[in-house]
Amino acid sequence: MKSKSPITRRAFLQTGTTALAGATLLSSGSCSQQSKETPPQRSEFVQRTLGRTGLRLPVVSMGACYGIDLVRSALDNGIVYIHTSSDYSERNHERLLGRVFQDRPRDSFVIGTSPDLPYTFRGSGPSEDLGRDVEPGLILESIEGSLERLKLDYVDIYYLGSMGRKETLLHEPYIDAYAKLKRDGKTRFVGITTHENEPEVIRAAANSGFWDVVLTSYNFRQSHREEMDAAIQYAADRGLGFVGMKTQAGVYWDRKRTRKINMTAALKWALQNENIHTVVPAFSSFEEMEEDIEVMKDLTMTPEETRDLALGDELGYSGHYCQQCGGCLSQCPERVDIPTLMRCHMYAYGHRQPRKARDTLGSWTSADIPCSNCARCPVSCALGFDVQSRALEIARVLDVPDDFIV
């Protein structure tokens, strides 16, 4: 989408702190580092309230971004909420944000993060889930590291990450740990993140009466969109705030990355659901930021943008986005964690972030991916992926020396 008044990189860097956009913060649950003043609202931006948190946010926020000038410019030009995690880039993303935050009023931004915990990868059921055997003390320790790296006294939202089943987010020891963090003033609100089995997880979060925010996958490529919308509405009616992720659905339609998904259209599509209060796309350039800031001003989808989102189906492209439905797991004779491999393929080949794919797989090596042993892959993917080919491409990524991975 073309901007009516393009925001160049030079303009971004020259914009002063007078352009800071603010979030309307609740007085209850405030922490020691919070100012009594709130910055002025940017009236030209569409804003929504993040459920019962009362946080008033522009509809576009910021996910992963590793350019410090880009983060500063985003905050200077209207972005308020930034999402990170202690496992992003081996904790370096939090360190980068800490350098940005140290010179800014605490009430001029909202930050959410999550602990780096030992997730369990399975060959059946949810492919990634915390399980219920992690020592809750690790949660309490992890937030201290995040606060040190972020150079903050507290975070606004602390998430329990990658929930794939309701039993995990309802596990009392975890809830007790997060309740303690709120009591101790380490976080103002608590949330969960989910990118598989989302409807069940979302409904469980709503019924818990404890969690405040859900960060969930939500995009036009999901085959269970009606079920998603029903679950989100159910939870929003009970006061939960919703942050949308993976809204760009893998970025490219084709495996060779010659046809890019209309990013503006994908972002607008997600925000047509008014219960999605803000979204956290990753930023890699000032041009992308300009496009996203324009979306914050007007969510109207043009007929051309609507047609663009149907391009994949028209041309027979399966795209890069894996919806983590788990339908492939029972089909694999080797019980390979296919959903995780397909998600990592999206990171490496769709998002062009091979390092994130490597970080997600942790200690995996190419030898842990036995797909070359099958003459013919028996797995039929719901979204039409060539599972064997994509798995072997990820195996090659694992074989590349660290010095060559960005």
The pLDDT score that the predictor gives to residue 297 is: 94
Question: Are residues 254 and 109 located together in one domain of the fold?
Answer: yes
Whether residue 174 is found in the same domain as residue 263: yes
Instruction: For residue 95, give the nearest of 138, 19, 150 by alpha carbon.
Output: 150
Closest CA to 374 of 391, 396, 349, 397: 391
The dihedrals phi and psi of 132, each to the nearest 5 degrees, come to -120, 20
| CA angle (237, 240, 243) in 5-degree steps | 120
Residues 337 and 268 in one domain: no
Same domain (yes/no): 245, 354: no
Please indicate, yes or no, whether residues 306 and 377 belong to a single structural domain of this protein.
no
On whether both 284 and 339 belong to a single domain, the answer is no
Bridge partners (DSSP) of residue 245 are 217
In this prediction, residues 150-160 reach a mean pLDDT of 97
189 and 157 in contact (C-beta within 8 Å)?
yes
Which residue would you say has higher pLDDT here, 373 or 20?
Answer: 373
Q: Is there a contact between 10 and 76 (Cβ–Cβ < 8 Å)?
A: no
Q: Kindly tell me if the per-residue pLDDT of 400 is higher than 90.
A: no
* Alpha carbon separation from 21 to 16, 47, 74, 189, 194 (Å, rounded): 12, 11, 10, 21, 28
H or E stretch including 206? helix 198-208
Whole-structure pTM value: 0.81
For range 87-96, the mean pLDDT: 84
- Classify burial at 170, counting beta carbons within 10 Å of its beta carbon; exposed 0-12, middle 13-18, buried 19 or more: middle
DSSP conformational letter for 200 = H
pLDDT of residue 329: 86
Assess if residue 168 is contained within a domain: yes
Domain holding 49, by residue range, is 9-311
Q: Is the pLDDT of residue 405 over 80?
A: no
Q: What is the Cα gyration radius of the chain?
A: 20
Q: Note whether 90 and 52 are same-domain residues.
A: yes
**Which of the listed residues 311, 340, 360 is the one where a domain comes to its end?**
311
Overall size of the chain counted in residues:
406
**Cα torsion angle, 41, 42, 43, 45, sign:** negative
SS3 assignment, position 179: helix
Same domain, 395 and 260: no
Stretch 152-173: mean pLDDT, rounded?
A: 94
| More confident site: 146 or 29 | 146
User: How many structural domains is the chain composed of?
Assistant: 2
Beta bridge partners of 36: none
When pLDDT is cut at 50, 70 and 90, the band that residue 11 belongs to is: very low
Residue 66 lies in a domain: yes
Residue 403: what residue type? D
Q: How far lies 205's CA from each of 12, 113, 170, 176, 395, in Å?
A: 39, 18, 8, 15, 35
Do 356 and 245 share a structural domain?
A: no
DSSP letters of 228-278? HHHHHHHHHTTT-EEEEESTTTTSBSSTTS-SB--HHHHHHHHHTSTT--E
Q: Are strands 155-160 and 110-113 parallel, antiparallel or unpaired?
A: parallel
Residue with tokens 């459920």: 51
Q: At which of 311, 346, 375 does a domain end? A: 311
Looking at the domain assignment, is residue 319 inside a domain?
Answer: no
Based on the fold, state whether residues 306 and 237 are members of the same structural domain. Answer: yes
Q: Report residue 173: phi and psi, to 5°.
A: -60, -35
Last residue of a domain, one of 311, 338, 371: 311
Q: What is the CATH number of the domain that holds 136?
A: 3.20.20.100
What is the arithmetic mean of pLDDT over 240-248?
A: 95
Does the residue 316 lie in any domain? no
Q: What is the pLDDT of residues 293-346, one digit of tens each?
A: 999 999 999 999 999 998 877 877 778 777 887 888 889 988 888 888 988 888
The pLDDT confidence band at residue 68, using thresholds 50, 70 and 90, is very high
User: Between 89 and 319, where is the model more confident?
Assistant: 319
Q: Is residue 322, in this structure, part of any structural domain at all?
A: no
Query: How far is it, in rounded angstroms, from Cα 15 to Cα 268?
Result: 26
* 181 and 289 within one domain: yes
Task: Tell me, yes or no, whether 195 lies in a domain.
Answer: yes
Indicate whether 3 belongs to any domain. Answer: no
Q: What is the 3-state secondary structure (H, E, C) of 37-76?
A: CCCCCCCCCCEEECHHHCCEEECECECCCCCHHHHHHHHH
Mean pLDDT of 272-295: 94
Mean pLDDT over each residue of the chain, to the nearest integer: 84
Partners of 60 in the β-ladder: 279
On whether residue 323 sits in a domain, the answer given is no
20 and 54 part of one domain? yes
Query: Percentage of the chain with pLDDT > 70?
Result: 87
Confidence (pLDDT) at 128: 59
Q: What six digits make up the tokens of 280?
A: 């956290």
pLDDT in tens, 175-228: 999 999 999 999 999 999 998 899 999 999 999 999 999 999 999 989 899 999
